[in-house]
Chain A
Amino acid sequence: MSAHESVSSALRAANDAGRPALIPFITAGYPKLEDFMDVLAAVSDVGDVVEIGVPFSDPMADGMTIQRSSHEAIKNGVSLRWILEQLSANRDRIKAPVVLMSYMNPLLAIGYDELAKRALAAGVCGFIVPDLPFEESHDLRAALESQGLGVVQLVTPATPAERLQLLADASRGFLYAVTITGITGGDGGLPDDLAAYLDRVSKVSPLPVCAGFGIRAAGDVANVGQHAAGAIVGSALVEVLERGEDPAAFLRSLRD
């Protein structure tokens, strides 16, 4: 099984067990550098797949919570190279498949071929790249797929039908359905037509569809779970970490 297939497989296993899959998101090295592996291990015990945010100085698709965490993580000394080193050294502590969320520039700084090799060695299964539209993604996808890794594509409620199919077919691991037209961390609630949107996306996707942006509570996860394979929880979890609370307990509460 290739690395990106292990992501799909973990999500399907959750569904087979009769529950929506849960994908927690954490910003690497936030709030404290030295706690990264402990937090990741705890989160990976509960989550089916874990998304690790690579901090970037100009996170154009992120709201205040993730922005703040990225800014602090960079100040803490976090870099993509450091994250890959940490993951490589602690592979046995992480139970769930890992995908990295990174903006383009840190990936370019390492170089795609080098990135793909190091990521595979670190146990990373795929990448979510919010500022990389499909049209510009050929080189990165080719480099990652040569190692069995993939790019998780994002779709949004504004994505036209033809493009939706294109992105669904190109995606690896899962298809990331952005629930709202906006940035991460919104607290305006999930949109009324979410069910119809997720049904439409799930219908065309050969991979599990996971919904993210604005998912903060157990009710949101259950709601999403009726129309998609899983839910991605980012800002709400980062806020839990910010307050010094137990991330695993929070994640378990989302399943109650």
Chain B
Amino acid sequence: MKSLLESGDAEKLLAASINGELPDERGRFGPFGGRYIPETLVPAFERLEQGVRKFLHDDDFQKEFRAELHNWVGRPTALTPAPTLSARWGCDVWLKREDLAHTGAHKINNAIGQALLAKRLGAKRVIAETGAGQHGVASAAACARVGLPCTVYMGALDMQRQAPNVDRMHRLGAEVVAVESGDATLRAAIDEAMRCWVSDPDGIYYLLGSAVGPHPYPWLVRELQNVIGEEAREQMLRLAGGLPDAAFACVGGGSNAIGLFYPLLADTQTELFGVEPGGRGPGLGDNAATLATGRPGVLQGSYTMILQDDDGQVQETHSISAGLDYSGVGPEHALLQAIGRVNYIMASDEEALDALGELCEAEGILTALETAHAYAAAKKWAANNPGKRILIGNSGRGDKDMPTLIQYPVSARK
């Protein structure tokens, strides 16, 4: 994979990333990213990109977005010290609490930002896709807030795994469409949402839920999510007495992780760890660890790392966490791996369940199964790095995972 970069490119690309020069005008993060879409969508994507360029950093938009983050989302979210985990792990552990944001996860930052943008772009209705359902709930809530009808595409398998979130979406006024095709999870839902958009690119705004897909989505989502890292950085300096030695975030598509990492890229004394779902094991189809085990290719509009076979067929994945169960990953993460700024590692289903249990018991926080992967990796790192300061991106709350967690009773696991 390093061969995608020439000698000396890593330093230049890191500098360009820190300076805000990536993606470039073609939507590339170094070799990754771009826009691989049907011709039918080309005019729609050009209008979207122009709209994003016009509004995203416009004072009025930013004022409205920031006001909604404060008044409706509940930002800034807390930075919580974790004294019991700190004592157990021998490190100073701090948690960035996206689970405390409205609707219970970081997804809401992106959803309200894009919903405000959809309104400015004159969309008649919004479509979204969802895996764990958190982005669907966030999209439904944000659309209700700005007054746009919302349709959410969700894999049929994920609908079973995340039944409470399906009900929440309905109550928030969204239509939920079950996607039976493909693997009936997030990837199939994205395919279906794209197909729907192709049918009416003028009237529909596609509210994409992660830092994936064709340009400008990876950039747009990062810009809406980096509030996580901006707040965490400021809070660490103010409350924890300094920047972390290491920061951990779970990575499926990677929006929470890029939101946390992006404002910390220049702080090279902070080691960054993206934690992918190691699932049942290292075999193709047994995990969703795209960066750790995938190869470059084109999936859903972007040149990035993907889980595929030798013929270029994208592979089905497994993770106990529906929100991480995805064969691709945001192209900016592919770059950050290629240039060595972020380490991408794995935590298994079992390790995530153990970490989730420990956090509940130690700090009274039921975290999302996604986030539990970050805790599992942080605990391992702490064992080899005593006395260090650790930041963990607590991306969402675990209530939505109860149908899964009930299958692993506490008594049986003790």
Contacts and interface: CB of A to CB of B under 8 A. Distances in A.
Interface of A: 56-64, 67, 71, 74, 79-81, 103-110, 130-133, 135-136, 153-156, 158-160, 163, 167, 178, 181-183
6 contacts: A58-B191, A106-B313, A109-B311, A178-B40, A182-B40, A183-B199
B37 A131 contact: yes
B58 interface: no
Interface in B181-205: 181-182, 187, 191, 194-195, 198-201
Contacts of A57: 182, 313-315
Chain B residues touching A, range: 35 or more
A5 B44 CA distance: 33
A156 B200 CA distance: 13
Interface string B18-49: 00000000100000001111111011100000
B313 A61 contact: no
Interface in B297-319: 297-301, 306, 308, 310-315
A155 B315 CA distance: 31
* A-B complex: 3 closest residue pairs judged by Cβ atoms: A109-B312, A106-B312, A79-B311
Nearest to A61: B38
B313 A56 contact: yes
Which of B40, B42, B182 has the most chain A CB within a 10 Å cutoff? B40
A220 to B, nearest CB: 19
Given A60-B38, A61-B40, A105 B199 contact: no
A64 B196 CA distance: 12
Contacts of A74: 313
Contacts, number: 110
Contacts of A107: 312
B35 A133 contact: yes
Contact of B314 (A105, A132, A154): A105
A160 B308 CA distance: 36
Contacts of B299: 58, 105
B301 A158 contact: no
Contact of A181 (B182, B198, B301, B312): B198
Interface of B: 26, 34-40, 42-44, 181-182, 187, 191, 194-195, 198-201, 296-301, 306, 308, 310-315
Contacts of A80: 311-312
Nearest to A106: B312
A136 B36 contact: yes
A231 to B, nearest CB: 18
Nearest to A77: B311
Given A108-B298, A131-B298, A133-B35, A60 B191 contact: yes
A158 B198 contact: no
Given A71-B181, A131-B298, A182-B199, A158 B43 contact: yes
A80 B304 CA distance: 21
A58 B191 CA distance: 7
A18 B300 CA distance: 42
B44 to A, nearest CB: 8
Contacts of B40: 61, 156, 158, 178, 181-182
Given A154-B39, A181-B40, A182-B198, A67 B181 contact: yes
Nearest to B42: A133
A58 B314 contact: yes
B39 A159 contact: yes
Contact of A156 (B26, B34, B39, B312): B39
Contact of B43 (A61, A62, A110, A160): A160
B311 A181 contact: no
Nearest to A102: B312
Nearest to A153: B39
A133 B35 CA distance: 8
A235 to B, nearest CB: 14
Nearest to A132: B36
Contacts of B310: 109
B311 A61 contact: no
A132 B314 CA distance: 17
A109 B310 CA distance: 7
A67 B192 CA distance: 11
A183 B34 CA distance: 22
Contacts of A67: 181
Contacts of A105: 297-299, 306, 308, 312-314
